[in-house]
Structure 1
Amino acid sequence: MTFYSFARSVVYGAFKPIYRMEVLGKEHFPKEGGVLLCANHIHNFDPPMVGITAPRPVHFMAKEELFNVPVLGKIVPHLNAFPVKRGMSDREALRKGLNVLKEGHVLGLFPEGTRSKTGELGKGLAGAGFFALRTDAQVVPCAIIGPYKAFGKLRIVYGKPIPMDELRKNKVSAEETTDVIMNEINNLIVKNK
């Protein structure tokens, strides 16, 4: 058993008694090949929640500060996470993300770049569009519908992969591509509230 699998079991065991998790749409998740998984961001627990409910292991870009936290900083790299410098173009993180997708793995992103203070979906950053356009990965939208309240219902919805061929062919900008992705996440939230 890998450390990732072990950690996933531990987190699932910790979350199960606290949150009534309902996971929808797992059948839409591609079984193989690169997948760009894009979710809204409402809580610090979103990455582990996606990690335990996604059908395949997820590699996350995580804020660089997490890698400097005592103990946690030693664990995070073993959870398929790699650091990204926030507020600037981090070429190393972009290169690493592209490699994750090109190697046929799942890259998890929160396109808003930070948690929503209100729970409402914010504007997505161009990074999601960049990864979607630069690879042939399938792009899967994910909606986390909370709030994270003890014993409350928490719904995680995986949508169908977003068609990207036209966007790639027409050389649509990364910003516009991110807008398309965010619109799909919003549709999932609205339909499943």
Structure 2
Amino acid sequence: MVTFYDFAKGVVSSVFKPLYKIEVIGAENFPKEGGVLLCTNHIHNFDPPVVGICTPRPVSFMAKEELFKVPVLGKAVGNLNAFPVKRGMSDREALRKGLAVLKEGKVLGLFPEGTRSKDGKLGKGLAGAGFFASRSEAYIIPCAIIGPYKAFRKLKVVFGQPIDMTELREAKKSADIVTEVIMAHINELIEKHQ
């Protein structure tokens, strides 16, 4: 049975992949099963659908609460496995939901910067990514979106290898420190594939 997610992925792929000449690098690094925390830089409003069509498994994104209040769009976003998060504050319900997604062996997509980069450069990550990485047994996959989002110019989506979290989890490092490690891995991907 084709789900709404599968249908939407097919439609968006048929438009975005040729328009932005999307090249996917490192798809083999993506775990075929088990909980995955997918952490990506954020350079454009189209990042969520682009990451969604390039990721081998369905992704549940945390999305800003305001999107769910927009008629039609809010319903569509909800049907695409996204769930709301209140920005600028600790949203315990969103944290619980995110951990549940990982525990269920699904993929949780996060933009650790919390908002789009104004200049395209990688910003500072928020503690949320470190929280999910530390409080779960999920694989942590860094991802980099590289490109100008201009028609017929190449856009790259790069999946890195899972980050080894063993030492950080055993040492009970703070969420901020864990996020810094994740951001460093995203930055490495950007530098390597620019």
Place the TM-score, normalised by the shorter chain, in its bin.
Answer: over 0.9
Q: Are 1:144 and 2:175 matched, yes or no?
A: no
Task: State the Cα distance separating 1:18 from its structure 2 match.
Answer: 1.1
Tell whether 2:7 aligns with 1:6.
yes
Distance 1:55 1:16 in 2: 15
Moved over 4 A (4+): none
Amino acid at match of 1:175: D
Residue 63 of structure 2 aligns to a residue whose secondary structure is strand
Aligned residue for 1:155?
A: 156
Q: What's the counterpart of residue 17 of structure 2?
A: 16
Q: Deviation per CA, 1:71-92: give whole Å up to 9, x if none.
A: 1011111100000000000000
Which residue number in structure 1 is paired with residue 166 of structure 2? 165
Aligned position for 1:191? 192
Q: Which residue of 1 aligns with 2:119?
A: 118
Q: Deviations over 1:2-51 (max 9, x none)?
A: 00000000100111231111100000000100000000000000000000
The residue identity in structure 1 corresponding to 2:79 is: H
1:174 alignment counterpart: 175
Task: Tell me the equivalent position of 2:58.
Answer: 57
Corresponding letter in the other structure for 1:163: D
CA distance in 2, matches of 1:80, 1:153: 28
The residue that corresponds to 1:97 in the other structure is: 98
1:34 alignment partner in structure 2:
35
Q: Which amino acid aligns with 1:42?
A: I
3-state secondary structure, aligned to 1:7: helix
User: TM-score normalized by structure 1?
Assistant: 0.99
| 1:171-191 Cα distance to aligned partner (Å, 9 max, x none) | 100000000000000000000
In 1, distance between residues paired with 2:39 and 2:65?
Answer: 19
Cα distance in structure 2, aligned partners of 1:70 and 1:146: 31
Q: Percent identity?
A: 73
The number of residues matched between the two structures is 193
- SS at 2:121 equivalent: coil
* C-alpha distance in structure 1 between counterparts of 2:78 and 2:94, whole Å: 13
Query: Shift in Å at residue 160 of structure 1?
Result: 0.1
Q: Paired residue for 1:68? A: 69
Structure 1 residue runs of 5 or longer lacking an equivalent are: none
Per-residue Cα deviation, 1:68-122 (whole angstroms, up to 9, x for no partner): 1111011111100000000000000000000000000000000000000000000
Residue identity in the other structure for 2:88: G
Is the aligned partner of 1:109 residue 2:110?
yes
Tell me the C-alpha RMSD between the 2 structures: 0.5
Give ranges in structure 2 of 5+ residues lacking alignment: none
Cα separation, 2, equivalents of 1:51 and 1:178: 22
3-state secondary structure, aligned to 1:61: strand
Aligned partners of 1:24, 1:173: CA distance in 2, in Å? 31
